[in-house]
Amino acid sequence: MSSSTENAPVAGDYIVHHLTHLTNTGHKQTAVIDWTIINVDTLFWSVSMGVLAIIFMVVAARRATSGVPGRLQGAVEMLVEMVETQSKAIVHGDRRFIAPVALTVFIWILFMNALDFLPVDLLPRIAELFGVHYQRIVPTADLNGALGMSLGVLLLCLYYNIKIKGFGGWVHELFTAPFGNHPLLYPVNFAMQMIEFIAKTVSHGMRLFGNMYAGELVFMLIALMGSTATALGFFGHVVAGSIWAIFHILIVVLQAFIFMMLTLVYIGQAHESH
């Protein structure tokens, strides 16, 4: 790792510091899995963005009239209609909960992803003024955040599987699909079904996490250029930062949309019998 000036942090330290969560223990998590630790920053920012998303939607819903819509109402209505159209096409059944879930997921993830647009050092520096030394503000760039939501989708899939097919029907499907109803095929079918559920859930969460984590990392690398405090570094930071931020607009919206669509697709699959 190279450091160009005396004041600038060593690049490796800077990155590691920025990728360290604020935990309830105050220390960096060492074990890969440790259920006693909670990432306070992820929780804080995801709840904050959730509340913001809710306020955004509730304000629009409160003002919703059947007359000529205002801009806020128009924007929220466009989202609602988009989600409603998609959910109608994908899920065949009672969508009273599913469509709102998709809308929530979309707007919540959109807001959480959008935190990536804030300068990577801004909020951590402000937090440091208050004695908080670690701060990662993008909850979707935390594997716990992304997997937590995909786990929620998995639970919904299981719930709708049982609700639509009955517990017996679902268990029957677990052993007879996708290859067929034959005692010799039961273990194979069951194994395939388990792999399918696990793969769906993990890839669902990992896709979002990976995109946002990589995006965050690139922003940090770009910030490193500016931190060299040279003309070239400054120029490179401005150009690369602008380009990446503009490109990131696409990623932020696209990942939120993909997460929502996959949520609908997986819940839709739970509605269809093989």
Short-list 88, 122, 86, CA closest to 106: 86
> What is the rounded CA–CA span in Å between residue 12 and residue 1?
6
What distance in Å separates the CA atoms of residue 269 and residue 264, rounded to the nearest whole number?
8
Q: Closest Cα to residue 145, out of 204, 91, 193?
A: 204
Options 1, 2, 6, 31; binder of other proteins; rule CB under 8 A: 31
Window contacting other proteins (CB under 8 A); options: 25-33, 121-129, 214-222, 254-262: 25-33
Are 53 and 111 in contact, with CB atoms under 8 Å apart? yes
State the nearest-atom distance from the C-beta of 144 to other proteins, in Å.
4
> Which residues does the annotation mark as catalytic?
203, 207, 211
The C-alpha atoms of residue 166 and residue 170 are separated, in whole angstroms, by 6
Which residue matches tokens 């806020």?
72
* String of DSSP letters for 221-269: HHHHHHHT-SHHHHHHHHHHHHHHHHHHHHHHHHHHHHHHHHHHHHHHH
Q: Does 110 bind other proteins (CB under 8 A)?
A: no
- Taking the CA atoms of residue 34, residue 36, residue 42 and residue 45 in that order, the dihedral angle to the nearest 10 degrees is 170
Q: Which is nearer to other proteins, 58 or 122 (CB)?
A: 58
Quote the least distance from Cβ 9 to other proteins, whole Å: 22
- Of 60 and 270, nearer to other proteins (C-beta) is 60
Q: Considering beta carbons, is residue 67 or 131 the nearer one to other proteins?
A: 67
Q: Residue 46 interacts with other proteins (CB under 8 A)?
A: yes
Query: Does residue number 43 form part of the binding site for other proteins (CB under 8 A)?
Result: yes
Q: Which is nearer to other proteins, 7 or 65 (CB)?
A: 65
Site string for other proteins, 132-151 (x = CB under 8 A): -------x--xxxx-xxx-x
> Binding of other proteins at residue 104 (CB under 8 A)?
yes
Q: Least distance in Å: CB of 230 to other proteins?
A: 33
Which tokens go with 152? 């929620």
Judged by CB under 8 A, the residue of 12, 13, 16, 47 near other proteins is 47
Decide: is 124 part of the binding site for other proteins (CB under 8 A).
no
Q: Which residues contact 195 (CB under 8 A, 6 or more apart)?
A: none
* Binding residues for other proteins (CB under 8 A): 23, 29, 31-39, 42-43, 46-47, 50, 53-54, 57-58, 60-62, 64-67, 69, 73, 76-77, 80-81, 84, 96-97, 99-101, 103-105, 108, 139, 142-145, 147-149, 151-152, 155
